[in-house]
């Protein structure tokens, strides 16, 4: 092979290499940042692009897809001096890759710190109960606070979500103790109310029983009075009704004594009637 042919092959290879060096195919979902002699030149869109070989270089390859940034957990102090732990997740999209790479050193790190700072500020203005129950309000304030700042970096905040917002471990233990104490207090009050109602019902029962016993005694007394009056009218003497009634009561007492489990032997006087008359006679003499 002659030297001319070798030179031609080298020239052809150089031309092919130069052409390939100037052709860039950008995949879908990305944009490439081109620098010309160290200075920003242009942004290559997805598809076939031509650049000046050996002068233009692809410095950055930036995704145009949504990016999910996990915001680490951090301790936040509320307005009523309660420590809570909160974390979030941010969804962003880079609309101006040139601003994202030239406007800030590390946009992901910057956004994470911006979200954390804003989250501390927002929750610090709220009480514990409001912070735990107002996720939508915190989300709206957080999005409003950082959207304008990151727009200078060519980034759009799609949304930001509060993942977890819980009291710290120490605060949770205190809340559990407080809840247990409250449950114990309610149980004690309920038990005391039950005992009070039971005592009132028992007292009412005793009062009603006493009232009924008193009424029964009155009825019995009236019955005894009527019995004495009828017996006196029938016998015509004052002694015999009393003897009759005492004898009746004596017989009942003897019967009850005989029916008792402890009773082994019952001794009756030979002349019950004379005994009763003697007892009555002694009473009347006195």
Could you give phi then psi for residue 160, rounded to 5 degrees? -140, 135
Lowest-confidence segment of 111-115, 127-131, 137-141, 147-151 by average pLDDT: 127-131
- Residue 16's pLDDT is what? 78
- Residue 224's pLDDT is what? 66
Residue 93 has pLDDT above 90, yes or no: yes
When pLDDT is cut at 50, 70 and 90, the band that residue 61 belongs to is: very high
Mean of pLDDT values over 160-188: 75
Lowest-confidence segment of 89-93, 178-182, 257-261 by average pLDDT: 257-261
Residue 271 has pLDDT above 60, yes or no: no
């Amino acid at each position: 092979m002659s030297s001319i042919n070798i030179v031609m092959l080298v020239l052809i290879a150089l031309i092919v290499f130069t052409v390939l060096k100037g052709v860039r195919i950008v995949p879908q979902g990305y944009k490439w940042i081109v620098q010309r002699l160290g200075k920003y030149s242009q942004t290559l869109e997805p598809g076939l692009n031509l650049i000046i070989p050996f002068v233009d270089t692809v410095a950055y390859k930036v995704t145009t897809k949504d990016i999910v940034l996990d915001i680490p957990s951090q301790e936040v102090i509320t307005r009523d001096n309660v420590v809570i732990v909160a974390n979030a997740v941010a969804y962003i999209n880079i609309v101006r890759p040139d601003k994202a790479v030239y406007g800030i050193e590390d946009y992901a790190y910057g956004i994470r710190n911006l979200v954390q700072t804003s989250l501390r500020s927002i929750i610090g203005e709220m009480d514990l109960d409001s912070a735990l129950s107002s996720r939508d309000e915190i989300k709206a304030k957080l999005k409003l606070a950082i959207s304008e700042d990151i727009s200078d970096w060519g980034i759009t905040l799609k949304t930001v979500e509060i993942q977890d917002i819980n009291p710290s471990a120490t605060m949770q233990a205190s809340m559990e103790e407080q809840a247990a104490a409250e449950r114990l207090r309610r149980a004690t009050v309920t038990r005391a109310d039950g005992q009070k109602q039971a005592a009132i019902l028992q007292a009412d029962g005793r009062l009603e029983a006493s009232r009924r016993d008193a009424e029964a005694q009155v009825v019995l007394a009236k019955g005894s009075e009527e019995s004495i009056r009828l017996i006196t009218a029938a016998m015509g003497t004052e002694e015999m009704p009393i003897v009759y009634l005492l004898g009746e009561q004596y017989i009942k007492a003897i019967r009850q004594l005989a029916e008792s489990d402890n009773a082994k032997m019952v001794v009756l006087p030979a002349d019950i009637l004379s005994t009763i008359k003697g007892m009555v006679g002694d009473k009347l003499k006195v």
